[in-house]
Homo-oligomer: A and B are copies of this chain.
Amino acid sequence: MPSVARIPTALPAKTAGADVVVLGADGAPLADAEVVVEQTSHAFGFGNIGFDFLPLVGGPAPEGVEDVEAFGTASSLDLETLSDAWLGLFNQVTLPFYWGRYEPRRGEPDRERLRRTAQWFADRGVTVKGHPLLWHTITPSWLAGLPLDEVEQLQRERSRGLTAEFAGLIDVWDAINEAVIMPVFDNGANRITDLARDRGRIATVKLAFEEARAGNPSATLLINDFDLGSAYECLIEGLLEAGVAIDAIGLQTHMHQGYRGEEWTTAMLDRFARYGLPLHMTETTIVSGHLMPPEIDDLNDYRIPDWPSTPEGEARQADELVRHYRTLVGHPSVRVINAWGITDEGAWLGAPVGVLRKDGSRKPSYDALHGLIKGEWWLAPTTVRTDAEGRIRVEGFEGGYRATAGGASADFGLTGGDGAITLRLPA
Contact = CB atoms under 8 A, between A and B. Distances in A.
Interface of A: 180-181, 183-184, 197, 200-202, 227, 229-235, 237-239, 241-242, 271, 274
Contact of A180 (B181, B200, B234, B238): B234
Given A184-B271, A230-B231, A235-B238, 20 more contacts: A181-B230, A184-B230, A184-B233, A197-B274, A202-B237, A202-B238, A202-B241, A227-B230, A229-B231, A231-B233, A231-B234, A232-B234, A234-B234, A234-B235, A234-B238, A237-B238, A238-B238, A238-B241, A241-B242, A242-B242
A207 to B, nearest CB: 13
A184 B228 CA distance: 13
A136 to B, nearest CB: 14
Contacts of A183: 233
A183 B272 CA distance: 12
A277 to B, nearest CB: 13
A201 B234 contact: yes
Nearest to A200: B237
A192 to B, nearest CB: 16
A250 to B, nearest CB: 16
Nearest to A230: B231
Contacts of A180: 230, 234
A230 B230 CA distance: 9
20 contacts: A180-B234, A183-B233, A184-B230, A184-B233, A184-B271, A201-B234, A202-B237, A202-B238, A202-B241, A227-B230, A229-B231, A231-B233, A234-B234, A234-B238, A235-B238, A238-B239, A238-B241, A238-B242, A241-B242, A242-B242
Contacts of A233: 183-184, 201, 231
A201 B242 contact: no
A394 B201 CA distance: 44
Contacts of A234: 180, 201, 231-232, 234-235, 238
A273 B201 CA distance: 15
Nearest to A206: B241
Contacts of A227: 230
Given A231-B230, A231-B231, A237 B197 contact: no
A230 B235 CA distance: 9
Contacts of A201: 233-234, 237
Contacts of A197: 274
Chain B CB count within 10 A is highest, among A181, A202, A241, A274, for A241
Contacts of A230: 180-181, 184, 227, 231
A9 to B, nearest CB: 32
Nearest to A244: B241
A181 B232 CA distance: 12
Contacts of A181: 230
Contacts of A229: 231
A391 to B, nearest CB: 44
Contacts of A242: 238, 241-242
Contacts of A239: 238
A227 B232 CA distance: 13
A229 B231 CA distance: 8
A373 B231 CA distance: 36
A241 B241 CA distance: 8
